[in-house]
Amino acid sequence: MAFIIRAQNVSFCYSEGESKSPPVLKDINLQFEKGEFIGIIGHNGSGKSTLAKHFNALLLPTKGNVYVKDMDTKDAKHLWDIRQTAGLVFQNPDNQIVAAIVEEDVAFGPENLGIPPEEIRKRVEYALKAVGMWEYKDFPPHMLSGGQKQRVAIAGIIAMKPECIVLDEPTAMLDPIGRREVISTIKKLNKEEGITVILITHFMEEVVDADRVIVMDDGKVVLDGTPKEVFKEVEVLKKIGLDVPQVTELAHQLRKEGIDIPSDILTIEEMVEFICR
């Protein structure tokens, strides 16, 4: 089995020694397969961003190990290979865009990797087309909407040809249109380009058709399964302060009232189909 990322008994504290802080990751074990679309959800402060930063060696485990394609993130000689394999996209596109023109911004990463100019041009074109922003290549980023800026930031990562992208709440600062643009771009990169996607989000709808959903609470993985397996655990999710998709909640309430309805309904279509039967 080809795992792109593995976390083995990972614990993490922000500070050690005298002023030791309590662990924010507690014995995490996870394996991600190449090509998977994984959603990570969890309450504020549950450790999602801290975990994400372990996936490209921005943080190193206090205990345990993280492997990116069998490269131990603690092994300094692999740092650039790791960063190139797993790219990180953050919440605020304004903090990720560095150049005055879209095209130059996307070229920035590959330039830093020392890639020859001809190859950079090809990659910039490929990346901007992949996120549907090629026609904006000559625009200054400040002229773009939030969703468009975030797609440019994603193109900047794609131009490094990563096998995996980790997105930490990439839609949190966007309006509904921007959110839709970004999510459909991410899905397309996964389906058409085969890029492994790890998507951290507070929006449950963004992960209902992921291959797998991981739920974190207090530095631990509390649920890990298909969206259907995870979202039918309505009581567990509520206890740790998470919502479930509205239709799942409705199905849950109907079951409580004694109506024989499947507990793993996730979409309006499934609900309609069940009710009309």
Ligand X SMILES: Nc1ncnc2c1ncn2[C@@H]1O[C@H](COP(=O)(O)OP(=O)(O)OP(=O)(O)O)[C@@H](O)[C@H]1O
List of residues contacting ligand X (CB under 6 A):
14, 24, 42, 44-50
CA distances from 213 to 72, 109, 117, 177, 246 (A): 24, 30, 40, 24, 17
End-to-end CA distance of the chain: 41
Closer residue to ligand X (CB): 21 or 31:
21
Nearer to Mg ion, 12 or 136 (CB): 12
Q: Which is nearer to ligand X, 23 or 178 (CB)?
A: 23
Judge contact between 161 and 115, C-beta under 8 A.
no
Q: Which of residues 12-51 bind Mg ion (CB under 5 A)?
A: 48-49
Distance CA 120, CA 23 (A): 42
Closest distance of CB 12 from ligand X, Å:
9
CB of 95 to ligand X, least distance (A): 15
What, of Mg ion, ligand X, none, does residue 50 touch, CB below 5 to 8 Å by kind?
A: ligand X
Phi-psi category of residue 45: left, alpha or beta, with phi > 0 → left and psi -120 to 50 → alpha: left
Compute the least distance from the CB of residue 42 to ligand X, in Å: 5
User: Which of the listed partners (ligand X, Mg ion, none) does 190 bind, with a CB threshold of 5 to 8 Å by partner kind?
Assistant: none
Compute the distance between CA of residue 55 and CA of residue 162 in angstroms, rounded to an integer: 13
Residue 54 Cβ vs ligand X, minimum distance, rounded to whole Å: 10
Residue whose CB is less far from Mg ion, 49 or 148 = 49
CB of 67 to ligand X, least distance (A): 20
From 161, 136, 138, 160, select the one nearest 150 (Cα to Cα).
136
Q: Does 150 help bind Mg ion (rule: CB under 5 A)?
A: no
Give the one entry of Mg ion, ligand X, none that residue 44 binds, where binding means its C-beta sits below a cut-off of 5 to 8 angstroms depending on kind: ligand X
Would you say 23 or 87 has its CB closer to ligand X?
A: 23
- Give residue number: closest CB to Mg ion: 49
Q: Look up residue 27 and give its two tokens.
A: 């014995």
Cα 147 to the chain's mean position, in Å? 16
CA 157 to chain centre: 13
Residues of this chain that bind Mg ion (CB under 5 A): 48-49
